[in-house]
Amino acid sequence: MLTRKRYRIPLPGGRTLELGERTLVMGILNVTPDSFSDGGVHLDPARAIEAGLRMAEAGADILDVGGESTRPGADPAGGDEEMRRVLPVIEGLAGRTPALISIDTYRGVVAREAAARGAAIVNDVSGLQYDAELGAAAAETGAALILMHTRGRSREMYERAVYEHVVAEVTQELADAMKRAVDAGVARDAVILDPGFGFAKRAEHSYTLLAHLDALAALDRPLLSGPSRKSFLREALGDRPPLERDWGTAAAVAASVLAGAHIVRVHNVRAMIDVVRVCDRLQSLKP
């Protein structure tokens, strides 16, 4: 187990996000027709808002609202459609829950509009590779910025999943993403890093990264781990659909927390809260 460093992340309005004392849980709220696990379930804004409020009541610290599926092979929704899906949900959640709201987008225009409606965090699956305006949007709004590792777009990412030393290469490419953010005006203190399990990675790459997640501590930024229901879990579980991977997700979440993750991003908030609480109890006994 890795002793977890504490960080204070600046947020809009002079607020801060304290990371490290306990593991925070980010609930996944997909407002899409085609996400791999729950596509179509929350397309209606009212239904999505109620689902977000239930996640917060179950203990979610952050609600991550996404309007475009980034699963391998997914088609882009377009910025206007993405905003049509997510902005009413963010507006409906803002002020109704103490949970922070995160916008899962790689588009600068979406990030700006989401921040104007209450989002405090931008969760970028591209690591600032898809839209040059996103870094500036995060800097101007004061939102915290999560940079995830990937290579290529959704339709080509598996073709780019070629590594000699996956941990070293992902570490370096996350460092490159962080430099892009700082060059765009984002404060280094506002950056959170995500190794991107399943994105431009074969199952063996994701398992290797999870086994060596503590190596990313060398980047001196808080870590988000998002293994929830991902396809790499099938290598150990067998060919099960996403909704039947929660036990495998629980194991990956536990491994993440014990390796030093500051935030875990999950679908089943209520169940994973229990996993996190037990692992945090173990973390608290370390010197």
User: Which residues does the annotation mark as catalytic?
Assistant: 230, 265
User: Which of 130, 131, 29 minimizes the C-alpha distance to 85?
Assistant: 29
Calpha distance 242→50 (Å, rounded): 22
Q: Which pair of structure tokens corresponds to residue 109?
A: 């225009």
Calpha distance 16→19 (Å, rounded): 10
Q: Under DSSP, is residue 264 helix (H, G, I), strand (E, B) or coil?
A: strand
Task: Please name the residue that has the structure tokens 């994105």.
Answer: 199
Distances (CA, A) of 252 to 2, 62, 66, 233, 265: 15, 19, 22, 9, 11
Q: Under DSSP, is residue 145 helix (H, G, I), strand (E, B) or coil?
A: strand
Calpha distance 4→99 (Å, rounded): 22
Calpha distance 132→111 (Å, rounded): 12
Residue 30 near residue 38 (C-beta atoms within 8 A): yes
In our burial notation (b when 16+ CB lie closer than 10 A, e otherwise), range 185-207 reads ebeeebbbbbbbbbbbbbbebbb
Residue 122 CA, chain-centre distance (Å), reads 9
Which residues lie closer than 8 Å to 20 by C-beta, 6 or more apart?
4, 5, 6, 7, 222, 262
